[in-house]
Amino acid sequence: MDRIIVRGNGPLSGQIPIAGAKNACLALMPATLLSEEPLTLTNAPRLSDIRTMTDLLASLGAEVTQLQEGKVLASACHGEINPVADYDIVRKMRASNLVLGPLLARLGHAVVSLPGGCAIGARPMDIHIDALTALGAEIELKEGYLHAKVAGGRLKGAVHEMRFASVGATENFLMAAALAKGTSVLKNAAREPEIVDLADCLRAMGAQISGDGTSTIEIQGVDRLHGATHPVVADRIELGTYMLAPAICGGEVECLGGKIALVESFCEKLDAAGIHVEETRDGIKVKRRGDVVNAVDVVTEPYPGFPTDLQAQMMALLCTAEGTSVLEEKIFENRFMHAPELVRMGANIEVHGGHATVHGVKKLKGAPVMATDLRASVSLILAGLAAEGETIVNRVYHLDRGYERLVRKLKAVGADIERVSE
């Protein structure tokens, strides 16, 4: 099993290119099921989750081809479609549930296994089920599979208000409603940039959607969608992660392709912590204002609030801040599993339920640590960049799900980091 070894060696300097958003691409790929014509995605990230979604779509009858070193995905679904999303593939990744809406819209029936993914909370499917049921689907759970069908074969437009602004449920509803008969309105919809990116793609395919980026989205169903070419939006979580690298260990790094609009609430916290963030012609430039990082409090919230997927990385920064910070996790339970590993590196952290209190220390010290999920993995690497001595991060296979060529990118700005196989 691979490990990543990090040795703290001072400030960083240079440029880091930001890949296309994993979470956006994983929602865009199932849209190929909605049309017989090809869908081409440019700026696609090269990640294991993308390969998993490729395998899933192939099992359903889609043809997916990687072009230009994997950064362009061309897909088509013009043949016979298999309506069954099997457990052996779906268990590997939570986003596999995003084929449910498109299959119902295209075929009028589907059998989809309950999904897997990182162990960071229940993330129940009932919000998805409620949204699709509002459009006329009948869904029941049998032996770990969701068996879904539509009376008459075609979904019908409806008004539905979600009890929680779920990103995945919003995406499933959008794709399903795009081919439903009549007008659909989704209230309390998720507002994330990935939602806007999906809506842009669906519009390019001929869908009639308005209000994306707000809490109320309206979809006028059409009879068919056509092919399109669409660029995947930059990954705001990768962007925020690499912005934290110079914040943690000093120096100045420019994140190419980044936009402040993607991470505004995150940038506000960096500013309060004493980190200078400046948008340039090519991206975002980040550096400390002084030698000390200030303690700040963080509450994770649905977009446009502070992203839960940057909470672990932000905690790594606050471990050596001056003062005491409190982080409150309001999106997922059980998402402070990285805290005990940071404590092994000398951090002073107390966790009580959904709150973590971080008392800043002068310096972290390298230690063997274990990654528990995707974002926890990279938080430990960030901490290792500024720690004294050597940090060995075990179980780094999580990283391959969400960070494209992380070791190469950090090395390019001066980090002492390597990936080794046992």
Neighbours of 259 (CB within 10 A): 17
**8 A C-beta contact, residue 176 and residue 222:** no
Torsion sign over Cα 42, 48, 49, 55: positive
Torsion sign over Cα 6, 11, 15, 21: positive
C-alpha–C-alpha distance, residues 182 and 44, integer Å: 33
51: its two tokens: 């390969």
Buried b (16+ CB within 10 A) or exposed e, 50-63: bbbbbbbbebbebe
**8 A C-beta contact, residue 378 and residue 312:** yes
C-alpha–C-alpha distance, residues 39 and 347, integer Å: 47
Among 25, 77, 118, 255, the active-site one is: 118
**Would you say 23 is a known binding-site residue?**
yes
**Would you say 123 is a known binding-site residue?**
no
**Would you say 331 is a known binding-site residue?**
yes
**Would residue 25 show up in a list of annotated catalytic residues for this protein?**
no
C-alpha–C-alpha distance, residues 128 and 227, integer Å: 26
User: Which one-letter amino acid corresponds to residue 340?
Assistant: P
Binding residues: 22-23, 94, 309, 331
Binding residues for UDP-N-acetyl-alpha-D-glucosamine: 94, 309, 331
Binding residues for phosphoenolpyruvate: 22-23
Catalytic positions are 118
